[in-house]
Amino acid sequence: MQNIDELSEEQARAELKRLSEEMAKADIAYYQNDAPYLTDAEYDSLKRRNEQIEAKFPHLRLANGPSQRIGAAVKSEFGKVEHKIPMLSLGDIFSEEELMDFTAGVNRFLGNKTDNQITYSAEPKIDGLSFSARFEHGKFIQGATRGDGKTGEDITENLKVIKDLPLEIKAPDLPEILEVRGEVYMSKADFFELNKKNAAEHKKVFANPRNAAAGSLRQLDANITKERKLSLFVYTWGDVSEITWKSQSEFLAKVRSWGFKTNPYNRICHTTQDLINYFEDLQQERANLLYDIDGIVYKVDDLALQNRLGFLTRTPRWAIAHKFPAEQAFTKINNIRVQVGRTGALTPVADLEPINVGGVIVSHATLHNEDEIKRKDIRINDTVIIQRAGDVIPQIVRVVKEKRPQDSQEFIFPQKCPVCGAHAIKEEDEAVRRCTGGLTCPAQATERLIHFVSKDAFDISGLGEKIIEDFYRENIIKTPSDIFTLEERNSGGDLFSHHNGLHLESREGWGKKSVDNLFKAINEKRKISLPRFIYALGIRQVGAATSLLIAKHYGSFLTFMQDMLVKNTEKLLEIDGIGEAMVKDIVEFFAEEHNQQTIKLLLQQIKVDDFLDTTDYTSQLSGKTIVFTGTLEKMTRAEAKAKALSLGAKVAGSVSKNTDFVVMGSDAGSKAEKAKELGITILSEDAFFALIS
């Protein structure tokens, strides 16, 4: 790119036009389609270049160029809202020097002799999208996005479903008209949850929490907004009938007292050094926050001073946004490998040229699955942009195609398991390819052992991943029951045994003490609860929550296994929350001979406790299986279920011959029909109510 100092007027004009067009395109992708294709850092550098050229050739500035625009025009489907007070944006800075220029400028403007006479409100810059919410006489009446700063989209219904926004406020000091403004965001946890769900349903996967928040807020159907969990913080105001606060910090305290959420990290700072310290503290804390922030906003706290400072063209002189260096970086893909997981899933992983991303050295990134590699057209030796969000595994944002070398190599996804060589097949409706080797595949076998001793399963702390891998390779532990015969085999059995013993205590880095501790940890787990045991088996799709449901429903492992061995799935299907697909995986698991053998050997070593609970087994409902259908009037479905469970009943999701009662509310459908067919007792809501009270 040409040095700005060397640009002729003609070249500068052409360059400003090019930048304006490029940024307009990027703005549409970012603001309207929630699908950015430039990284924040790339966008910022275009913006900087535009600003620098404009500074040198002020007369060439385009009337509708990037420096004159805020955000993007509104999507047409939403109603429009004119902002009585425009929603402005902030200037950005990227370094400590620029921060010192900012505070020096503020003091110079105000005629102060030294640079440390001003109090600032320092606030995290939330990476979401800004909103304005109008209250009249304490009632929420209208919500809007920023739009182009003058006109936004009407998102009244969408804001109503965000739990952080009070819809009615009663406070004696509340202005008659009050517009609060702030940021709507999605927490990192809710973002991952949403993407996981969307990926499973082959729906849109969002690039980051900000896009997910934007896509969720700007839904014409507010029910969709409601399903997506959004949150918000208030940090400023718009149209207000009477401003009764004298500073930004007083405003924040007031809105908090009225029931709005403000950011808990907002701080008062007195010197430039305070601001620098605050910036560094938050940069450190950034990964631990529950939501994304992309910098710090510094605001002169005193409103009288804010008024004196006033505005530049479209940003205040009394505030600035100090952006964090992007947690993105360029690096090269040295290799692509495939890892094999517990259920045989083949997951491609990129080995990267190690690179520092926001203070952490990154050398691998997950590529998810073969479709993802195709979709992003990722090849070995490509230069890519990687991104690290919080403490999650780094992701590849995109390939930098302009930098693709001659020797880039397409990755051919293996059709065989790279560990055991068995066929790897991809079911039609699945994104992942799986190794069919089962437990004969060393990768699957060790991953299953690792799962077996993990925290929610047997929780044997002395057996880490490395030890399991070593023991597997050396034939010391091949199957879960081997864990429980370890002690016996260690000393070489009895006097007549020809076996030499394992003598783990003489392994490098081990000793008598650590071996004794390990045996103690193992022996403590010879008795295990039913939910833990079911979970430890590592059946596909059966997580800790499902294991608990199964344990509650069956009470003992043997009854559960017997049903599974004869493929009697009726009882299993009764459980609310367990569907056909999961039942299929469970039955397939028990049908495998090697799994039966594993369980048999294991049960010779350990005892699985029956599942006991504290329900009242003397009630009339005790031991009975109940199905609820239709709408209940006197209580919610959840309440009715909880009550039935506490009285010792089982609550099933579908009707079968094992059902004892069907409780029928209004608008009951096919379940009631089926109950009639099977001759099952049908209770009205009143009859059920009488039974439980």
Sites for ligand IVH among residues 526-555 (CB under 6 A)? none
Spatial separation of the C-alpha atoms in residues 296 and 312, rounded to whole Å: 20
Site of tokens 């995109």 = 398
**One residue of 236, 328, 387, 547 binding ligand IVH per CB under 6 A:** 236
H helix or E strand, kind and range, residue 363 = strand 360-366
Least CB distance to ligand IVH at residue 28 (A): 18
Which of left, alpha, beta for 479 (phi over 0: left; psi -120 to 50: alpha)? beta
Which residues between 287 and 326 bind ligand IVH (CB under 6 A)?
297, 316, 319, 321
The yes or no reply on residue 235 touching ligand IVH (CB under 6 A) is yes
Q: Does 180 bind ligand IVH (CB under 6 A)?
A: no
DSSP character for 518? Answer: H
Q: Which is nearer to ligand IVH, 20 or 236 (CB)?
A: 236
Least distance in angstroms from the C-beta of 129 to ligand IVH: 7
What are the CA-CA distances from residue 460 to residues 10, 285, 367, 384, 520 (Å)? 72, 32, 31, 40, 10
As measured in angstroms, the least distance from the Cβ of 306 to ligand IVH is 10
Q: How far is CA 439 from CA 382, 445, 466, 547, in A?
A: 36, 5, 19, 22
Q: Does 574 bind ligand IVH (CB under 6 A)?
A: no
The residue range among 125-133, 342-350, 425-433, 459-467 that interacts with ligand IVH, by the rule CB under 6 A, is 125-133
Q: Cβ 395 to ligand IVH, closest distance in Å? A: 23
Nearer to ligand IVH, 216 or 236 (CB): 236
Shortest Å distance, C-beta 288 to ligand IVH: 18
CB of 208 to ligand IVH, least distance (A): 15
- Residue type for position 483: I
Between 319 and 542, name the residue whose CB sits nearer to ligand IVH.
Answer: 319
Task: Tell me: does residue 341 bind ligand IVH (CB under 6 A).
Answer: no
Q: Which of 439, 469, 427 is nearest to 537 (CA)?
A: 439
67 belongs to the binding site for ligand IVH (CB under 6 A):
no
Cβ–Cβ under 8 Å, residues 224 and 328 = no
Burial class (CB in 10 A: 0-12, 13-18, 19+), 67: middle
Reply yes or no on whether 125 is catalytic. yes
The DSSP line for 416-443 is B-TTT--BEEE-TT-SSEEES-GGGSHH
Strands (E) located in 241-357: 267-269, 293-300, 319-323, 328-340, 346-357
Active-site hit among 80, 125, 261, 401: 125
Under the binding rule (CB under 6 A), the answer on residue 125 touching ligand IVH is yes
d(CA 683, CA 668): 12
Candidate list 27, 34, 123, 292; residue touching ligand IVH; CB under 6 A: 123
Asked if 89 is part of the footprint of ligand IVH (rule: CB under 6 A), the reply reads yes
* Nearest to ligand IVH of 320, 515 (CB atom): 320
90 binds ligand IVH (CB under 6 A): yes
Least distance CB 128 / ligand IVH (angstroms):
7
Q: Which two tokens stand for residue 685?
A: 């809501």
Q: Tokens for 107?
A: 């003091």
663 binds ligand IVH per the rule CB under 6 A? no
Name the helix (H) or strand (E) containing 379. Answer: strand 379-380
Question: Among 54, 153, 179, 183, which residue sits at the site for ligand IVH (rule: CB under 6 A)?
Answer: 183
Residues labelled catalytic: 125
Interface contacts to ligand IVH, rule CB under 6 A: 88-90, 123, 125-126, 130, 183, 235-236, 297, 316, 319, 321
